[in-house]
A and B are shown apart, each in its own frame.
Chain A
């Protein structure tokens, strides 16, 4: 199942990667792959911006703006004029 292409804020700085493989391990959508001892983005458009990779990259090689991909959360953020970070209202 695929959502919109070309939208993710995910960025990988290959020069910083130490090849630990954590990003491959934690990504629930198989976005990363290891190649020649370094991580590379193999399937960028599968990214759902959960932030697991960035959070677990000890080398700070990954940047992504994590957030909840929920229309309800974004609409209520717009209505309440809060930051549009998409705080989920679900429990």
Chain B
């Protein structure tokens, strides 16, 4: 499974391997530091879809530049996007990159699962006989690997000392230059608008399927009548109803993540509801059918869309860098019953609207 998509078509070495370095334990592949256009496209595909699940490389030792026994060893995960950030940061340097087997998962997530961990690091150091490749006894582990790597435990088992490097690969050259000193800024996780925007497709793509199912359902509800299916209500009622799903989607999976620090409330469910309500009101101002099709129809809009946005916003906790499990558990405890209630009331309101419409004015 590993590396299926990144091996060259002829089964040879992938294009980012540009040579090899001889070591006492055999030849080690030497990698380019620049990204190719093809890799940039692959990185984009990682952001938007399930391609990321197949973007793995072989766990082993790699060389950057012309490393020797005195060169540093940087540890990373077997997710190629993680590896690519490390190799690009090492432009112009001579170093070793030790890739652990994380089954194609990035450092932080793999550390949380323990696959980027004490066990695997100690095993790899022994398996490749790192002590024969380098004359020193230190490896640099990314700081976000610390939830999985117990530094004193690895040292006890391998005699290699662990230095926790900066959070971001781009800071590695400065960290090395300053003699393994990371500034407090390098030790902090940032979650700015660029980081959040990069994660939006991860929320949007799976939620789009649910919204498509919702749209199909409400279009059917709109079309059905005493005389069978009718086309006309699709336009007057069906499309405005389906649009509410899109409002919830944009609100909960796009607007709330992007506006995160500016939306009132700390709980994600509240933030999602607030944005959802604002966008529903905006939508109602633009689409006359929301207020002009009866009380049950209008009530459905204001109960359903903000609650759906709230539920979608809650999913974003999994993408953030600062939500704790205790916090999410507490939030779920009071928000999930409200979401279930809102779903039930929405169905009742939709049914009420249909009953009133069937009876005629």
Residue ranges of A at the interface with B (Cβ–Cβ < 8 Å): 1-5, 7-9, 22, 25-30, 46-52, 55-56, 58, 65-75, 78, 84, 86-88, 90-91
Contact = CB atoms under 8 A, between A and B. Distances in A.
A71 B318 contact: yes
B325 A65 contact: yes
Interface stretch (B29-37, B105-113, B126-134): B105-113
B147 A52 contact: yes
The main secondary structure of chain B at its interface with chain A is helix
Interface string B324-339: 1111111110001000
B217 interface: no
Given A8-B326, A67-B324, 16 more contacts: A1-B261, A4-B327, A8-B324, A22-B151, A26-B146, A29-B189, A56-B149, A56-B150, A68-B318, A69-B317, A70-B323, A70-B328, A71-B315, A71-B318, A91-B52, A91-B53
Interface string B186-202: 01110100000000000
16 contacts: A1-B260, A8-B324, A8-B326, A26-B143, A26-B146, A29-B322, A46-B322, A48-B322, A48-B324, A50-B112, A56-B151, A65-B326, A66-B147, A69-B322, A86-B329, A88-B113
Contacts of A5: 266
A49 B150 contact: no
A51 B318 contact: no
Contacts of B328: 69-71, 74, 86
Contacts, number: 139
B106 to A, nearest CB: 9
Interface in B53-106: 53, 103-105
Contacts of A91: 52-53, 103-105, 109
A55 B150 contact: yes
Nearest to A22: B151
A9 B152 contact: no
Contacts of B148: 55
B164 interface: yes
A50 B260 contact: no
A4 B147 CA distance: 21
A30 B325 contact: no
Given A26-B146, A51-B147, A55-B148, A75 B332 contact: yes
B242 interface: no
A3 B327 contact: yes
A74 B324 CA distance: 12
Contacts of B321: 28, 48
Nearest to B311: A71
Contacts of B105: 91
